[in-house]
Amino acid sequence: MEGELSVSGEHHDHDHDNHYSDMQARVRALETVLAEKGLIDPAALDVIVETYETKVGPRNGAHVVARAWSDPVFADWLLRDATAAIASLGYTGRQGEHMRAVFNTKDTHNLVVCTLCSCYPWSVLGLPPVWYKAPAYRSRAVIDPRGVLAEFGVTLPEGVNIRVWDSTAELRYLVVPQRPAGTEGWSETDLASLVTRDSMIGTGLLHRPEVST
């Protein structure tokens, strides 16, 4: 980030705001040309953005996980044919065309990465966070996953093996975290509220909820 050339090839101050305004200008110029040529419909861009800001996100995945915890038949379907099981809840489409669900157990913790680009299950988790797409995570998740987990404040219990899934093809992985103890009898909605995005990537664990008084 420091010391780079701007997009026009000129040196500029090394601060992120300037870099951002370079990109702001660059993207605006591109959108302008494309719209002038009739190649894009700016209103279509608005719908795309609105979809990923308001309709598609980790609540979708949390619903899938909560259903799997609540319904053993669904959990078995999710294990055998995640694409169909997830579609039955209404979550389909771009970057979720070929889904696989991987289940954490007391012996194995699953962690998902894409070392080659930024493959991520958009249909159930929404757009990926910046760290998922950045070199630090992509480089280290496969060689030092425990070190990476520590940076998320996560320490796996003694004796737990770690399995890293590198999304090198078009399969998209959803981690099904273990159901926290103390949630017996909870509704699917309450269960879903416990499920975090990171727990479905494998960089988070779920804990026993606070006992309400």
Partner 1 sequence: MNGPHDLGGQMGFGPVAPEVDEPWFHADWERRALGITLACGAFGAWTIDESRHARENIPPAVYLSASYYEIWIRALEVLLQRHGFVAADEIALGQSRAAGAAPKRVLTAEMVPAVLARGGPCDRPVAEAPRFAAGARVRTRNFHPTTHTRLPRYARGKTGLVEAVQGSFVFPDDNAHGQGENPQWVYTVVFDGPEIWGEGSDPTLTVSIDAWESYLEPV
Distance from the Cα of residue 85 to its chain's centroid: 19
Among 15, 71, 80, 116, indicate the residue that binds partner 1 (CB under 8 A).
116
Name residue 186's amino acid. Answer: W
**Residue 108 DSSP one-character state:** E
Q: How far is the CB of 207 from partner 1 (least distance, A)?
A: 17
Residue of 114, 123, 167, 199 with catalytic role:
114
Kindly state whether residue 32 participates in binding partner 1, applying the rule CB under 8 A. yes
- Rounded to a whole number of angstroms, the minimum distance from the CB of residue 174 to partner 1 is 15
Give yes or no for residue 34 binding partner 1 (CB under 8 A).
yes
The residues near 167 (Cβ < 8 Å, ≥ 6 apart) are 112, 113, 114, 119, 120, 173
Q: Which of residues 37-66 bind partner 1 (CB under 8 A)?
A: 37-41, 43-49, 51-53
In angstroms, what is the minimal distance from the CB of 186 to partner 1? 25
Check if 118 is active-site: yes
Kindly write out the interface string for residues 117-136 of this chain, putting x where it contacts partner 1 by CB under 8 A and - elsewhere.
xx----x--xx-xxx-xxxx
Question: Residues near 187 by Cβ (< 8 Å), separated by ≥ 6?
Answer: none
Question: Known binder of ligand: residue 118?
Answer: yes
Structure tokens at 34: 């494309």
Tell me the C-alpha distance between 132 and 138, whole Å: 7
Binding site, by residue number, is: 114, 117-119
